[in-house]
């Protein structure tokens, strides 16, 4: 975190999709298809590849990558240099024509692109006036034509002609890009560039890769360079150069990736989501490992890059994030306020950056992001840093843009999260907030005994979750009972409110059943109108300080014939007597309960979606990494 400050670049909206490119001695097609499969979570409405072998050979197909594979299975494309892409449609509907790669006017250059060319209409007008014709509705095709026409306008003797053409073209582009380009007249060269869309170079033995994230290439090399905005890269099989589009010198650092490919494979699980739910005992252990100091009853978070004095001086915290990460932040707000008595404010990252949130120099901003690439969160981070605030990050993806641009932070070490619905990242984020709360708390009001008790609670979590997961069959049966409902309501109070929000989001995004999360007492302020015998309410009602108040709210639902599913503390028969179905969670410190309470809700939404035959790992309209504003 904060190792490389690419810093203050103006935020621009970005788009999703995935790029994989290869140059070396091996057949490119199988490597590209394997990489695309691993990136499919970034977008999955169409895909395509271009292989250079004397001339360009292109194949593109709407739908999943399996469609492209099927199309190529009868007539594989041979060649040792190629580019490929999996798309999440922005400009133009998903179809074969709009899929990438796109070609230039002479059909000699192929280009794949993540991002958006904001001035594409002006560029298109110029190109049309110069006689170019276009086949697709995409801004990317315009970019391909622009690079192609630059290439054609340069004398054949121009050194690094393709690289120069790309640089000249990108100087005319307003917007964002991660691009990879090949040209039939340059059979041994692959060029790429990034601005606002991640791109990573993989360095192999006599081969190089370019990809949107490391998961696409780690099976082949662990040596990588995370490119920075404005980097311009030229690859041959055994060399690479990194320059800058801005003509300034560009520095880079070769890193070793700590990533096991088997972590990104299904193994015996039917879906990544289920695998990742079951990985939570380990991912929580990894979040905690080496970060507890029993002697001081505190936490050790060296990556914060803050002295004890600076940590003591924090007077206010603003947490900002999106989606599930925001829900973890809502839980984090309660944890930090409760353990450290520091006022915490939580805000949607998309709102924070456009809001004049008053802050003073003792305000600490924390951004939370599994991918480290979410555009809204990145925008908020850049806005906070522009205003001069210290920003910490809680990220999973090592080397991601957010991780690099923060002043410090804590890595989640949760391993790759492939399922589009976030699960283990939520519990890891909450665990890190618990560590932060402990650290800040021990500098303020938390006693040694309280700190020690809290540490014991953190250490108990992996075993408690393992035990909880044994209830999977029971939860599946409950899901079967309610799978046909149109709407569900989730209720939780205080620290459990974030869990209610997260439970509802999980249900919506993978089952497409309408679901909303509320602080339980809000029921009577309007939501109660929704209650009838077809609308289940899911109450997170552990044995905490608000249990009795929650029970009263449950009674209000029961009085109106609303079915209730309760998440209650083991042995709480009073709650079980009111609820129609009860899932028990082990007793724990109030601030750690959300980590346990969310697990049955993850399983409940998972099984509901499976029973409804939904595409659990790739729900409609979604992509894992939301790099669009």
Does 626 bind ligand F6R (CB under 6 A)? Our answer is: yes
Shortest approach of ligand F6R to residue 141 CB, angstroms? 28
Does 377 bind ligand F6R (CB under 6 A)? Our answer is: yes
Does 627 bind ligand F6R (CB under 6 A)? Our answer is: no
Instruction: Report the alpha-carbon distance of residue 15 to residue 194 in Å, rounded.
Output: 12
Does 595 bind ligand F6R (CB under 6 A)? Our answer is: no
Give the active site residue among 17, 322, 395, 591. 17
Does 421 bind ligand F6R (CB under 6 A)? Our answer is: yes
- Name the phi and psi angles at 15, rounded to 5: -130, 160
| Residues 6 or more apart whose Cβ sits within 8 Å of residue 122 | none
Q: Which two tokens stand for residue 31?
A: 């490597």
DSSP designation for 407: S
Shortest approach of ligand F6R to residue 549 CB, angstroms? 29
Instruction: Report the alpha-carbon distance of residue 240 to residue 209 in Å, rounded.
Output: 10
For the CA atoms of 459, 465, 467, 471, the dihedral, rounded to the nearest 10 degrees, stands at 170
Does 370 bind ligand F6R (CB under 6 A)? Our answer is: yes
Burial of 574 (0-12, 13-18, 19+ CB in 10 A): middle
Shortest approach of ligand F6R to residue 366 CB, angstroms? 13
Does 371 bind ligand F6R (CB under 6 A)? Our answer is: yes
Give the active site residue among 108, 243, 424, 624. 624
Shortest approach of ligand F6R to residue 323 CB, angstroms? 2
H or E stretch including 125?
helix 120-129
Give the three-state DSSP class for 170: helix
| Residues 6 or more apart whose Cβ sits within 8 Å of residue 237 | 23, 24, 25, 80, 188, 206, 207, 208
Shortest approach of ligand F6R to residue 303 CB, angstroms? 18
Q: How far is CA 180 from the centre of its chain?
A: 22
Does 412 bind ligand F6R (CB under 6 A)? Our answer is: no
Does 329 bind ligand F6R (CB under 6 A)? Our answer is: no
| Residues 6 or more apart whose Cβ sits within 8 Å of residue 395 | 1, 368, 369, 370, 371, 372, 402, 403, 406, 409, 411, 412
Q: What angle do CA 470, 330, 308 make, to 5 degrees?
A: 105
Shortest approach of ligand F6R to residue 370 CB, angstroms? 3
Stretch that binds ligand F6R, among 175-183, 244-252, 351-359, 367-375 (CB under 6 A): 367-375
**Residue with CB nearest ligand F6R?**
323
Please choose, from the candidates 303, 180, 185, 203, the residue with its C-alpha nearest in 3D space to the C-alpha of residue 257. Answer: 203
* Residue number with CB closer to ligand F6R (140 or 377): 377
What residue has token string 């039917």?
270
Instruction: Report the alpha-carbon distance of residue 59 to residue 100 in Å, rounded.
Output: 9
Give the three-state DSSP class for 583: strand
Is 322 catalytic? The answer is no
* Residue number with CB closer to ligand F6R (141 or 509): 509
Shortest approach of ligand F6R to residue 367 CB, angstroms? 9
Does 325 bind ligand F6R (CB under 6 A)? Our answer is: yes
Does 422 bind ligand F6R (CB under 6 A)? Our answer is: yes
* Residue number with CB closer to ligand F6R (35 or 379): 379
Q: What is the CA radius of gyration of the chain?
A: 26
Please choose, from the candidates 389, 279, 378, the residue with its C-alpha nearest in 3D space to the C-alpha of residue 345. Answer: 389
Q: How many residues bind ligand F6R (CB under 6 A)?
A: 15
Binders in 285-324 for ligand F6R, by CB under 6 A: 322-324
- Say if CB 611 and CB 510 are below 8 A apart: no
* Residue number with CB closer to ligand F6R (104 or 213): 213
* Residue number with CB closer to ligand F6R (370 or 496): 370
Q: Is the peptide bond before 101 cis (omega within 30 degrees of 0)?
A: yes
Does 374 bind ligand F6R (CB under 6 A)? Our answer is: yes
* Residue number with CB closer to ligand F6R (235 or 322): 322
Is 17 catalytic? The answer is yes
Does 431 bind ligand F6R (CB under 6 A)? Our answer is: no
Shortest approach of ligand F6R to residue 422 CB, angstroms? 4
Instruction: Report the alpha-carbon distance of residue 212 to residue 43 in Å, rounded.
Output: 12
* Residue number with CB closer to ligand F6R (49 or 322): 322
Binders in 497-556 for ligand F6R, by CB under 6 A: 505, 509
* Residue number with CB closer to ligand F6R (330 or 626): 626
Does 197 bind ligand F6R (CB under 6 A)? Our answer is: no
Active site residues: 17, 624
Residues at the interface with ligand F6R (CB under 6 A):
322-325, 369-371, 374, 377, 421-422, 505, 509, 625-626
């Amino acid at each position: 975190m904060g190792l490389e400050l690419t810093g203050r670049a103006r935020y621009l909206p970005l788009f999703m999709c995935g790029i994989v490119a290869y140059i070396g001695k091996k057949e490119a097609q199988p490597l590209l298809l394997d990489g695309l499969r691993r990136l499919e979570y970034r977008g999955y409405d169409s895909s395509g590849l271009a292989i250079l072998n004397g001339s360009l050979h292109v194949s593109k197909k709407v739908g999943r990558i399996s469609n492209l594979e099927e199309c190529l299975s009868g007539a594989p494309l041979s060649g040792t240099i190629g580019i490929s892409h999996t798309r999440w449609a922005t400009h133009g509907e998903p179809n074969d024509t709009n899929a990438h790669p796109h070609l230039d006017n002479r059909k000699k250059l192929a280009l794949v692109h993540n991002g958006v060319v904001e001035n594409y209409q002006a560029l298109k007008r110029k190109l049309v006036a110069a006689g170019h014709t276009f086949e697709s509705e995409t801004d990317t095709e315009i970019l391909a034509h622009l690079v192609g026409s630059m290439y054609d306008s340069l004398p054949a003797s121009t050194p690094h002609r393709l690289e120069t053409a790309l640089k000249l073209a990108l100087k005319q582009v307003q917007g964002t890009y991660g691009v990879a380009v090949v040209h039939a007249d340059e059979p041994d060269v692959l060029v790429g560039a990034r601005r606002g869309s991640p791109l990573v170079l993989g360095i192999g033995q006599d081969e190089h890769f370019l990809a949107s994230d490391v998961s696409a290439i780690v099976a082949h090399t662990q040596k990588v360079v995370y490119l920075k905005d404005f980097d311009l890269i030229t690859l041959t099989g055994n060399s690479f150069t990194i320059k800058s589009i801005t003509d300034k010198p560009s520095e880079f650092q070769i890193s070793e990736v700590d990533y096991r490919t088997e972590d990104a494979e299904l193994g015996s699980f039917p879906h990544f989501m289920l695998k990742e739910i079951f990985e939570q005992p380990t991912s929580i252990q990894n979040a905690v490992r080496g970060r507890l100091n029993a002697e001081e009853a505190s936490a050790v978070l060296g990556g914060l890059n803050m002295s004890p004095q600076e940590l003591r001086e924090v007077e206010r915290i603003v947490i900002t994030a999106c989606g599930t990460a925001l829900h973890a932040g809502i839980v984090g707000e309660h944890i930090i306020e409760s353990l450290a008595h520091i006022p915490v404010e939580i805000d949607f990252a998309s709102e924070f950056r456009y809001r004049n949130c008053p802050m003073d120099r003792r305000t600490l901003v924390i951004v939370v992001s599994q991918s480290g690439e979410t555009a809204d969160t990145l925008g908020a981070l850049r806005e906070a840093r522009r205003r001069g605030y210290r920003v910490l990050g809680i990220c999973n993806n090592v080397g991601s843009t957010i991780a690099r641009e923060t002043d410090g932070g804590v890595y989640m070490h949760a391993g790759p999260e492939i399922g589009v619905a976030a699960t283990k990242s939520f519990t890891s984020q909450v665990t890190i907030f618990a560590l932060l709360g402990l650290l800040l708390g021990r500098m303020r009001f938390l006693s040694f005994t309280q700190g020690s008790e809290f540490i014991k609670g953190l250490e108990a979590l992996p075993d408690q979750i393992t035990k909880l997961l044994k209830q999977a069959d029971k939860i599946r049966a409950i899901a079967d009972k309610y799978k046909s409902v149109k709407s569900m309501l989730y209720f939780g109070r205080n620290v459990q409110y974030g869990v209610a929000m997260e439970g509802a989001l999980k249900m919506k995004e993978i089952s497409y059943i309408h679901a909303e999360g509320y602080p339980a007492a809000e029921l009577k302020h309007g939501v109660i109108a929704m209650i009838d015998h077809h609308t289940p309410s899911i109450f997170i009602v552990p044995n905490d300080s608000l249990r009795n108040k929650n029970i009263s709210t449950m009674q209000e639902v029961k009085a109106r014939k609303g079915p209730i599913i309760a998440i209650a503390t083991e042995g709480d028969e009073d709650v079980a007597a009111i609820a129609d179905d009860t899932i028990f969670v082990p007793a724990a410190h109030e601030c750690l309960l959300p980590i346990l309470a969310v697990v049955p809700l993850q399983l409940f939404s998972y099984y509901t979606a499976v029973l409804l035959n939904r595409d659990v790992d790739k729900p409609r309209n979604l992509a894992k990494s939301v790099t669009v504003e």
